[in-house]
A and B are shown apart, each in its own frame.
Chain A
Amino acid sequence: MTKRIAAITFNTFREAVRDRVLYNLIVFAFLMIGSSLLLGQITIGVQRQLLINLGLTAISLFGVLIAIFIGIGLVSKEIDKRTLYTVLTRPVQRWEFILGKFFGLVVTLVVNAGLMTLGFFAALLYLMRGLEHSDVYILEAIYFILLQFMIVTAIALLLSAFSTPIESAVLTFAIFVVGSFSEDLRGFAAAAQGVSHYIAVGMTYLVPNFSALNVISSVAHGNPVAGNVLLLNTAYGLLYAGAVVCGASLIFQNRNLK
């Protein structure tokens, strides 16, 4: 079982690399070099915050876009191209295939984010002529960004198991946007009355809480993330992504291949 999932994971990763997905790193590199040079002109103190905000937001946005645009095709592309036929007629369970595809994209995103992180720290080092103790907290923010990637990948995978790539892309992106404003949604749910109150409350539980996973602004000001938040967010990310991947497996289990 483990070997089969690992093989599917590796193949998904290899496909992403050979399809030149990591080329986005070049754009990121230019963005970091350009920002460092530009921010060098601005007052000390603000430039550090700006670079952290810009760098981490770019890491998050690039990753989410990759998660959506590869994630929506993870299953549907294999069905359309019928590459799946020669996989699922082997001793591979359908849930193993789903899990392998999920891990494959997550590994791609982790490697991508890892390389971006190196680039980002290089830019920070160049701009500030050294690192501070509080820069370690940046790694906590990046860890939360990875948890976001995991959830977005799982959602894209779930939608791709039963809808077209365009529908999946639009829906996943919409869920990401709503999830990023989930704190505002909670505020609206508390203020709303009647049916809209119940709908808003339902949505706050259903839509992933990406607000809780966004600590970019906080770490940019040099604030650490509390230990219990780290633990709870990890549990939340794993459980949410796990539940969605289980849902994707269940849907895919009974799907007829055309």
Chain B
Amino acid sequence: MAAIETFALEKTYQVGFWRKKTKVALRPLSFAIPEGEVFGYLGPNGAGKTTTLKLLMGLAAPTGGSCKILGGKIGDPQVRAQIGFLPEQPYFYDHLTPRELLDYFATLSALPATKRSAQIEAVLKRVALQEDAWNTQLRKFSKGMLQRVGLAQAIIHDPKLVILDEPMSGLDPMGRREVRDLIEELNHEGKTILFSTHILSDAEALCDRVAVLNRGELRGVGVVADLIGSVKGNTEIMWQGAAAAHAVEALGFKPHVVGETVRTVVPEQDVDRVMDTLRNQHARLIAVTPMRTTLEDYFLARLASPATGAAPEVAK
């Protein structure tokens, strides 16, 4: 069973007071996330990531299409009982302490009173919130500490599906590392994780699959390795002989000359052409190094491609 399935999920808003205009927040979106997967939802600011998560969580109603969560509808309280959600830049009741807040959320999630206290302590330890802060009102917390409390409330009821909107936001490098470890741990426990981010290195390190969204449109979805493989990489070529630099420049590539050593980066498909030129110019080859393609390369390539409104590239 898929943990999340969307069927042409769509959202438009009416903006303006007198002259109403339609603003498209999300074009028809269809994808599925199998149970047990870590799925990254990527896109620049304003791409429609948070809108999608709000639609999935039932905080806003879709204009068109539908979605299934854990085989049911989000309106069903039994389905919601199995989901943990961390909103973007979470803000909590600042008159409460972390203990009180988690107790409140645990009660709302129907966690038995007998288990509550032990579960709260375990979760606060798990998100590495210092013990002396457990009984301090949240109004005195830093952004990073609030983010940890946010993560704690998302997992307090041991959900099957965890949805995190920008979970690394506001965290220092150490905190980001801890959250990455936590996501991995949760996944090893069999939980499905969907998280949105614009920090691509996190997605690359954690995700089984990712989706790329831009301007409300899905630009690609698939296994990280396949997506990276789909981007034609670059190769770095170094040689000695400044005279050959002009010939390579004539091919349309920009050489960087330092003394007698020259370096250029060319697309994979042009390597042979450049090598032939260097041979003809009797240049002395130093190195030919294929450069590693990253998720960032794929991401930028998809963002640069024109919006078509057609079905996106899907790799399963």
Q: Which residues of A contact B (CB under 8 A)?
A: 3-4, 7-8, 11, 14-15, 18-19, 81-83, 85-93, 254, 256-257
Q: Chain B nearest CB: distance from A91 CB in Å?
A: 4
- Asked if B233 is an interface residue, CB under 8 A from chain A, the answer is no
B residues within 8 A CB of A3?
Answer: 107, 110
Interface string of B48-83 (1 = CB under 8 A from A): 000000100111110000000000000001101101
Is the CB–CB distance between B105 and A86 below 8 Å? yes
Q: Which residue of B lies closest to A18 (CB)?
A: B95
How long is the Cα–Cα vector from A82 to B91 in the complex, in angstroms?
A: 6
Whether B85 and A86, one on each chain, are in contact in the complex, defined by CB atoms closer than 8 angstroms, is: yes
In the assembled complex, B241 has its CB within 8 A of some CB on chain A: no
Residues of A within 8 A of B59 (CB): 85, 88-89, 256-257
- Closest-by-CB residue of B relative to A81 is B91
A7 to B103, CA, bound (A): 10
**Within 8 Å of chain A (Cβ to Cβ): is B92?**
yes
Q: Determine if A19 and B93 form an interchain contact, defined as CB atoms under 8 angstroms apart.
A: no
Residues of A within 8 A of B36 (CB): none
Given the interface pairs A3-B110, A4-B108, the reply to whether A88 lies near B77 with Cβ below 8 Å is no
- 8 interchain pairs (CB within 8 A)? A7-B108, A85-B57, A89-B57, A89-B58, A90-B105, A91-B108, A91-B110, A256-B60
The interface residues of chain A lying within 8 Å CB-to-CB of B92 are 83, 86
When distances are taken between beta carbons in the complex, the residues of chain B under 8 Å from A11 are 93, 96, 104
A83 touches B91 (CB 8 A): yes
Asked if A90 contacts B108 (CB within 8 A), the reply is: yes
CA distance A3 to B60 in the complex (A): 26
B96 to chain A, nearest CB (A): 8
B170 at the interface (CB under 8 A from A): no
A82 vs B92: C-alpha distance in the bound complex, in angstroms?
Answer: 8
Main secondary structure of the interface of B (DSSP, over half): loop
**CB nearest neighbor in B for A3:** B107
What is the chain B residue whose CB lies nearest that of A91? B77
Complex Cα spacing A256 to B12, Å: 12
The count of A-to-B residue pairs whose CB atoms sit within 8 angstroms is 74
Chain A residues with CB under 8 Å of B58's CB are 88-89
How close is A2's CB to chain B, nearest CB, in angstroms? 11
Determine if A85 and B85 form an interchain contact, defined as CB atoms under 8 angstroms apart. yes
Partner of A91, one of B80, B89, B150: B80
- Confirm or deny: B90 has a beta carbon within 8 angstroms of a beta carbon on chain A: yes
Contacts of B109 in A (CB 8 A): 90-91
Which of A83, A87, A89, A91 contacts B78, CB < 8 Å?
A91
Question: Which of B93, B95, B107 has a CB less than 8 Å from the CB of A4?
Answer: B107
Q: Smallest Cβ distance from B15 to chain A, in angstroms?
A: 12
- B153 part of interface (Cβ distance < 8 Å): yes
Contact of A7 among B85, B89, B96, B104 (CB under 8 A): B104
The answer to whether B153 and A86 touch across the interface, beta carbons within 8 angstroms, is yes
Could you say which residues of chain B place their CB within 8 Å of the CB of A7? 104, 107-108
Shortest Cβ distance from A11 into B: residue: B104
The residues of B with any CB-CB pair to A shorter than 8 Å are 54, 57-61, 77-78, 80-81, 83, 85-87, 89-93, 95-96, 104-105, 107-110, 137, 150, 153, 157
A11 to B100, CA, bound (A): 9
Q: State the 4 A-B residue pairs at the shortest beta-carbon distance, nearest first.
A: A91-B77, A18-B95, A7-B107, A256-B60
Q: Which residues of B contact A90 (CB under 8 A)?
A: 80-81, 105, 108-109, 157
The smallest beta-carbon distance between A83 and chain B, in angstroms, is 6
- Please pick, from A82, A92, A93, the residue contacting B90 in the complex, using a CB distance under 8 A: A82
A15 to B150, CA, bound (A): 19
State A175–B171 Cα separation when bound (angstroms): 48
Q: Say which residue of A4, A19, A93, A257 sits within 8 Å of B54 (CB atoms).
A: A257
Taking A14-B95, A90-B157, A256-B60 as known contacts, 7 extra A-B pairs with beta carbons closer than 8 A to each other, sorted by chain A number, are A81-B91, A82-B91, A83-B93, A89-B83, A90-B81, A90-B109, A91-B81
| Chain B residues with CB below 8 A from A82, complex form | 87, 89-91
CA A90 to CA B153, docked complex, whole Å: 11
Inside 8 A of B93's CB, which chain A residues have their CB?
11, 15, 83
User: Within the assembled complex, what's the spacing in Å between the Cα atoms of A4 and B108?
Assistant: 5
Nearest CB on B from A108, distance (A): 13
Given contacts A82-B90, A86-B90, is CB(A92)–CB(B77) below 8 Å? Answer: yes
Q: B31 CB to closest chain A CB, in angstroms? A: 20
B61 contacts which chain A residues (CB < 8 A)? 254, 256
Q: Once the chains are docked, how many angstroms separate the CA of A11 from the CA of B97?
A: 12
CA distance A169 to B179 in the complex (A): 43
Q: Check A89 against B110 for contact (C-beta < 8 Å).
A: no
Residues of chain A within 8 A (CB-CB) of B90 are: 82, 85-86
Which chain A residues border B157 with CB–CB below 8 Å?
A: 90
Closest partner residue, chain B, to A4 (CB atom): B108
Chain B residues with Cβ below 8 Å from A4 are: 107-108, 110
Q: Which residues of A contact B57 (CB under 8 A)?
A: 85, 89
Choose among B85, B107, B150 the residue that contacts A89 (Cβ–Cβ < 8 A).
B85
Residues of A within 8 A of B150 (CB): 86
Whether A257 contacts B60 in the complex (CB less than 8 A), given A4-B107, A11-B104, A14-B95, comes out as yes
> Distance in Å from the Cβ of A200 to the closest Cβ of chain B?
32
> In the complex, which residues of chain A have a beta carbon less than 8 angstroms from the beta carbon of B89?
82
